[in-house]
Structure 1
Amino acid sequence: MKKISYLLFSLSLLSASFTSAQTKKTIVAATKVFPAEVARPKLVVGLVVDQMRWDYLYRYYNRYTNGGFKRLVHEGFSVENTFIPYTPTYTACGHTCIYTGSVPAVHGIIGNDWYDPETKKNVYCTEDSTVSTVGSTPSAEGNMSPKNMLTTTITDELRLATNFKGKVLGISLKDRGSILPAGHAANAAYWYQGSTGNWITSTYYMKEVPTWVADYNKLKLANKFYAKNWETLYPLNTYVNSTADEKVYEGKTSTFPHQLTQNIDKNFDAIRSTPYGNTITLDLAKLAILSEDLGKDNITDFLAVSCSATDYVGHGYGPNSIEAEDTYLRLDKDFEEFFNYLDKQVGKGNYTIFLTADHGAAHVPGFMKENNLPAGVVSDRDIANKLNAFLNDKFKVNNVVLKSMNNQIIFDHNKTDNGTVSFDVIKSASVEFLKRLDGFQNAVDISKIAQTTLQEIQKMMITNGYNARRSGDIYYVLQPNWFNGGNTGTTHGNWNPYDSHIPLVFMGWGIKQGATNKTHYMTDIAPTLAALLHIQMPSGNVGEAITEITDK
C-alpha cells in the first residue's frame, strides 16, 4: 500500500513538473507571438498603375532598370495570379475594390458612372454637389468626395485604429484615383485639374490647400515637360516589343517625336496622355512625404498613389504601341527614383509598398485583325437603338430601353410597369434578341442569373458587380476581344483575363521575398494589409488575407 502511495505521489510531482515546464514554454511562446508593442511599418504606400496588364511586368522586363519593377519582383513577393472578381472592370470600381476588399455589389461603385434608377439621373462616381473646389477657381472638377462609396477602406480603418493620428493622403491625376483609395476619413486627396494645371482638392477635406501644394502649383511643371516634347527614351528601332510607329488603329497622331510645345500655357490637360503625367504625380507624392512628415514617427501613415498616364496612353495608342512601351520604360525609371527617395526619407525596411492595377486592357481590334485574330467593337448607342426598335415592333412599347451602359441594359420602369406586356416577357425577349447581335456571346436577366448556363466565373463576376439599387436589368457578355468603343485605341471592362488579370507585388517591411501562382483576387489586398498592420478589415470586406507574403 505504501509503495502504491509513493508511486502516486511521485507521478503527481512528475505531472506538476511537466505542467510547470509546459507553462513556461507556453509563456515563452506567447511572448514571441504577442510582443509588448504591436509592430507596424512607419509608412504604407499603395501604388496603382492604371490599365497595367499583368504581363507588362515581364513584357518589357529585359529593358527595366534594376531599381524599378525588377526591384519589386526581386526584393518583394509577387502574387502572380491575381484577378478582378467582378465586372465591369473599370477604374473607379478597381480602385475601390483594392482599398475596400469588397465588390460593387457591396461598396456601390458599379462603374465610373452609372444611371441611378431612383433619381433617374446619371451619376459620376465621386460627384458631390455639396462640396466645392479648393486650390483653384470654382469648377465642377473640384466638386468631388467619397460619399457615393458605401463602405470603409483600409485607409479608413488605419485612421480608426490609430485614433486618427495616422495620416492618410491620396494622389492621382484622376479624382477617382485619389479620392476612393484615400477613403472617407482621409486627411487629404489631391487630383489634377487639366484646365489650369493645378493640383486641387475639395471642401470635403479642407478650406485651402497647404502651402507646399500651392507653391508646387505655381511652378506649372507641365510646361517644363512640354518643352522637351516626347521622344523615345531609347533609339526607335530598339522597340522590338511593339508594332511599327505609325498605325491607323492608333487613336492619336502616333509618330515620334510627339510635339508638345504647342501646349505650353494653353493645354495643361495634354500631359495626361504622356509619360510625364506619371512623373509629376510621383513628384507630388515625394513632396507630400517630405512636407507632411509621412513615416517620421511610430504611428503608421498611408500614401495612396495612382499613376493614371498609363491609362490615357493605353486608350490612345493600345497595348502594342511604341507609346505604351516607352511609357512603361519611363515609369520604371520614375519608380526607381521614388523607391530610392523612400529609402532615404523613410528608411529602407521602415515602409511597406504594394503595386497593383485597377484593370487591364484589350488588344486593339485593328491590331488583332491585322494578325488574323478574332476581335471587334460594339456601340452602346447602337445596342439601345436596335433593342428599342425590336421591342417597339414586337410589343408596341416605345423607347422602353433607357440606356445601354456598363454592359447592362437599363429599362424605363415607368413604361415596363404600366404597359400591357409584363416586364418578364420584355426581358426574356430582349435577352434572346441580344444573343443574336454581332459580337455578343450571351445575355442574361440578372434577377435569374443562377438559372443560366453561363460559366461559373462569369456568374460570379456579374453577381459581384450587381448592386440591387444602382445596376441595370440585363447583363450582356461580349465575345472575347470584342469591346464597347471605337475602331481606334483600346478600352477595358469585360470579364476576360486581358481585362481582369492584374499585377500584385508587395515589398518592404514584413514582406518576404518570393512568389506564388495560387489564384488570389483583388479583394484580398485590403485584408492582407489589415492582417499585416493588425487592424480591422474594411466594413464591406469579402476577401481573404494572402498568407504567403509573410512568415508570420
Structure 2
Amino acid sequence: MRKLLLSALALALLAPAAHSQAYEAKPKLVVLLVIDQFRGDYLERYRTDLKATNGFNLFLKKGAYFTSCYYDYASTKTAPGHATIGTGTYTDGHGIGSNEWWDLKRNTDRVVSSVEDERYRMVGTFDDLPVPPPPAISPRDNRIGASPLNLRVTTFGDEVRLATAGESKLYGVSLKDRAAILPAGQTANGAFWIDTATGRFVTSSFYMPELPAWATAFNKGPRIAQAAKEAGVDDTAQFYALVGRTSAANRYELDFARALIEGEKLGQHPVTDVLTVSLSANDILGHQMGPDSDTQKAMVVDLDKDLDAFFTYLDKKIGLGNVMVAFTADHGIAPVPAEAARLGIAAGIINLDTLAEKLNESLNTKFSPGKETAYLMPTQELPNIALDPRPFAKLKVSEKDAEAAVVEALPGIIESMGAPKSAPNNAATPEGTRKYADARLAPDPAAVFIRSHVDLAAGKVPNTEFGRRIAHSYTDHGDWYVMLIPAGYQMEYLNGIQTTHYSPWSYDRHVPLGFFGVNFVSGIYRDQVAPVDIAPTVTSLLGVNAPSASIGHVLVEAIRK
C-alpha cells in the first residue's frame, strides 16, 4: 500500500500544473498564431500529409483542437478578423468593420486604412537604401504611419501588460500592417510588417522613433534575397505581390519572429510575454488560386514543416513546456465561382462597376432628372455600397432618404443584371491556365439581405441567427452605406483574382482553432466554438482580466483540471 501511495504521489508531482500565472512567468511566452485565410476544413482535408511532429500536429495530436470553429458575424475580412481574435468581441464591440472605409473627415480622395494614422510616420521604410525610394504601389502614401487608433477596446495582450504594470512585452508580426497591429492591441511595445516593394520589415513612429538594432540587422542581412531566390523571383521590387504568395514568405516571416524573440529576449522575463504572428502568404495565394487548388494544398504542407522548425526552435530556446500557443485564422474563403458552378452550385459573380452605374442612373432619375451626378463613392467593395453624402447634402436629401432610395433600387438592378451563362474558359493563375469548359454560373444573381446604415444603426435586423451575425458586424465610422449580401457562392467581380471572402456564409466563417500548452487536455473537440473564445480562455489561464469588451467563453472542456 505504501508503495502505491508513493507512486501516486510521484505521478502527481510529475503532472503539469493546471494553472498558469502571468505574474510568475507561467508560461514564459504566449504565442498567438494566425494564418490569414486558412479555412477550417484544411487540416481535416490534408491531415494524412501533415507529418511534422511540431507542425500542425502540435495542436492535432499534442494539443486541444476544435474542428467546428465559426465566426458569428459577417465581417469576414482581414482587419476585423484579427481584431476579433485579439479582443474576444466582434465588430460591434471593437469597431473594426473592414480593411478600409470611406471617412470624408480624414480623406476625400480615397478610402482610409483600418490602421493608418496620419499623426505618425513610417519607420524603417527606406532607411539606408542604396537607391531612391521606389514609388508607392498602393494609393496610400507609404510615408503615413499606422496605429491601433480605430481599435476601441483592449486585447488579451493589453490585459497582460496592464496586469504586470507594463513589465510584460507584447509584439505583433505580419506581412500586413493591420494583421501585425490589431491582434496585439493598444499597448504593444512594437508591431512590424513589411514594406510591400522591398520586403524590409518596418514599423510606425507610434511604437518607436527608429527600428531596433536587431531589426535593422535583419533587413540588411541576406534574408530578403534568399526569400526571393526560394520563391523563384528575380525582381524583389514587388516583394509582397511576388514573394508574398509563396511558402518562402512564411519562412521569411517566421525567421523575423525568431530575430524578434532573440532581440527582445521574449520568454526570458519575470512575467509572461506575448507574441502575435500572422502569416499572410496563404491569403495572397488563396485569392488567386482558391481553396481547392494543388498549389494551395502544397502551401499547407510546406507550412506544416515551417511551423515544425519554428516550434522546435521555441522548444530549444524557451522549452515548449514554458510556452502557450493559440492557433486560428482570421477568415475562410469561398470556392472559385466557376469551380463551384461546374459541380452544379448556383455560383456567380456580380460586376460592381455595372451595379454602381445602374444605381447612379436610378438615383439621378429620382433626385436629379436629366443629370449625371455621381451619388456613389468612386470605389466599391462588398458587402457595403458606399454613398457620397456631399451631392445629397446639396439637394438637402437626408441620409435616411438617400439610403432608402438605394435599398428600393437594388433588388431590381441586381435582377436586371443577370450573369454570364458560363465562366471564362481560360483563367490565368500562378500555376498555369485553368480551363472551365462547362462551368455555368447562376443565371440571376440574388441578394438575400439589403439594409441601410440608418436601419442597421437602429438595430433593425431579423431576430434570427443570421440577424445576430449582421448585428455583430455593425460599426459607425460616419460613412453612408447600404449593406448588400448576395446569396451564397455569389460575389463581386474580382478584377483578375479568382475568389474572395466577406460574407456570413459558412465557408467564410469556418476557421481552425487549436491550443497547445501544459494547461490543455489534448484531444479533438467537436462542439461548436468561436474565435472570440480565444481571448477569455487565455486570460482566464493567465489570471488576468478578459479584454474590456470580450463576449467569448472560457473553453473549460479543454482545460486541465
With the length of structure 2 as denominator, give the TM-score of the two structures: 0.81
Instruction: Look up the equivalent residue of 1:504 and give its one-letter code.
Output: L
- Contact kept in structure 1, 2:88 and 2:550, CA below 8 Å: yes
Greater per-residue helix proportion: 1
Count of aligned positions: 490
Structure 2 residue matching 1:402: 3-state secondary structure: coil
Range with bigger deviation, 422-431 or 504-513: 422-431
2:447 and 2:527 map into 1 onto residues whose CA distance is 31
Give the match for residue 127 of structure 1: 116
Structure 2 residue matching 1:116: 3-state secondary structure: coil
Please give the residue correspondences for 1:167-316 in structure 2 after superposition, counting only pairs within 5 Å: 167-229=169-231, 260-263=232-235, 265-269=236-240, 270-316=242-288
2:274 and 2:460 map into 1 onto residues whose CA distance is 43
The answer to whether residue 65 in structure 2 is matched with residue 78 in structure 1 is yes
Deviations 1:354-382 (A, max 9, x none): 11000010001121223332211223333
Structure 1 residue matching 2:541: 3-state secondary structure: helix
2:288 and 2:258 map into 1 onto residues whose CA distance is 28
Instruction: Look up the equivalent residue of 2:488 and give its one-letter code.
Output: P
The answer to whether residue 388 in structure 2 is matched with residue 412 in structure 1 is yes
Structure 1 residue matching 2:301: 3-state secondary structure: helix
2:72 and 2:20 map into 1 onto residues whose CA distance is 34
User: Do the aligned partners of residues 442 and 537 (structure 1) sit closer, same or farther apart at CA in structure 2, a change above 3 Å counting?
Assistant: same
Please give the residue correspondences for 1:25-36 in structure 2 after superposition, counting only pairs within 5 Å: none
Deviations 1:259-312 (A, max 9, x none): x2422x544332111111111111111222222221123310001000000000
Structure 1: gaps spanning 5 or more residues: 1-31, 230-259
- Contact kept in structure 2, 1:46 and 1:355, CA below 8 Å: yes
Please give the residue correspondences for 1:149-160 in structure 2 after superposition, counting only pairs within 5 Å: 149-160=151-162
Give the match for residue 547 of structure 1: 556
User: Do the aligned partners of residues 160 and 451 (structure 1) sit closer, same or farther apart at CA in structure 2, a change above 3 Å counting?
Assistant: closer
2:491 to 477, 483, 487: 483
Displacement over 6 Å in runs of 4+: 32-35, 450-453
- Contact kept in structure 1, 2:388 and 2:480, CA below 8 Å: no
Please give the residue correspondences for 1:417-432 in structure 2 after superposition, counting only pairs within 5 Å: 419=395, 424-432=400-408
1:34 and 1:468 map into 2 onto residues whose CA distance is 38
User: Do the aligned partners of residues 371 and 328 (structure 1) sit closer, same or farther apart at CA in structure 2, a change above 3 Å counting?
Assistant: same
Q: Deviation of residue 531 (structure 1)?
A: 0.7
Q: Deviation of residue 216 (structure 1)?
A: 1.1
The answer to whether residue 374 in structure 2 is matched with residue 390 in structure 1 is no
Deviations 1:508-532 (A, max 9, x none): 1311112332222222211111111
1:44 to 30, 45, 60: 30
Residue identity (%): 34
Give the match for residue 332 of structure 1: 304
Instruction: Look up the equivalent residue of 1:320 and give its one-letter code.
Output: D
User: Do the aligned partners of residues 470 and 526 (structure 1) sit closer, same or farther apart at CA in structure 2, a change above 3 Å counting?
Assistant: farther
Give the match for residue 354 of structure 1: 326
Q: Deviation of residue 120 (structure 1)?
A: 5.9
Q: Deviation of residue 79 (structure 1)?
A: 2.2
Structure 2: gaps spanning 5 or more residues: 1-17, 128-132, 134-140, 415-444
Q: Deviation of residue 411 (structure 1)?
A: 2.8
Instruction: Look up the equivalent residue of 1:72 and give its one-letter code.
Output: F
User: Do the aligned partners of residues 204 and 420 (structure 1) sit closer, same or farther apart at CA in structure 2, a change above 3 Å counting?
Assistant: closer
Instruction: Look up the equivalent residue of 2:50 and give its one-letter code.
Output: Y
Taking only aligned residues, the RMSD between alpha carbons, in angstroms, comes to 2.6
Whose Rg is larger?
Answer: 1
User: Do the aligned partners of residues 351 and 381 (structure 1) sit closer, same or farther apart at CA in structure 2, a change above 3 Å counting?
Assistant: same
Give the match for residue 232 of structure 1: none
Give the match for residue 8 of structure 2: none
2:71 and 2:374 map into 1 onto residues whose CA distance is 34
Structure 2 residue matching 1:182: 3-state secondary structure: coil
1:107 and 1:416 map into 2 onto residues whose CA distance is 30
2:530 and 2:245 map into 1 onto residues whose CA distance is 29
Q: Deviation of residue 471 (structure 1)?
A: 5.3
Give the match for residue 89 of structure 2: 102
Deviations 1:75-113 (A, max 9, x none): 111122221122221101100110011222222211100
2:194 and 2:84 map into 1 onto residues whose CA distance is 22
Instruction: Look up the equivalent residue of 2:167 and give its one-letter code.
Output: K
Q: Deviation of residue 468 (structure 1)?
A: 2.8
1:89 and 1:472 map into 2 onto residues whose CA distance is 20
Instruction: Look up the equivalent residue of 1:135 and give its one-letter code.
Output: G
Instruction: Look up the equivalent residue of 1:274 and give its one-letter code.
Output: T
Q: Deviation of residue 209 (structure 1)?
A: 1.5
User: Do the aligned partners of residues 34 and 198 (structure 1) sit closer, same or farther apart at CA in structure 2, a change above 3 Å counting?
Assistant: closer
User: Do the aligned partners of residues 416 and 136 (structure 1) sit closer, same or farther apart at CA in structure 2, a change above 3 Å counting?
Assistant: closer
- Contact kept in structure 1, 2:95 and 2:476, CA below 8 Å: no
Q: Deviation of residue 168 (structure 1)?
A: 0.8
Give the match for residue 345 of structure 1: 317
With the length of structure 1 as denominator, give the TM-score of the two structures: 0.83
Q: Deviation of residue 415 (structure 1)?
A: 4.3
- Contact kept in structure 1, 2:227 and 2:252, CA below 8 Å: no
- Contact kept in structure 1, 2:400 and 2:454, CA below 8 Å: no
2:206 and 2:460 map into 1 onto residues whose CA distance is 44
2:514 and 2:324 map into 1 onto residues whose CA distance is 11
Q: Deviation of residue 220 (structure 1)?
A: 3.9
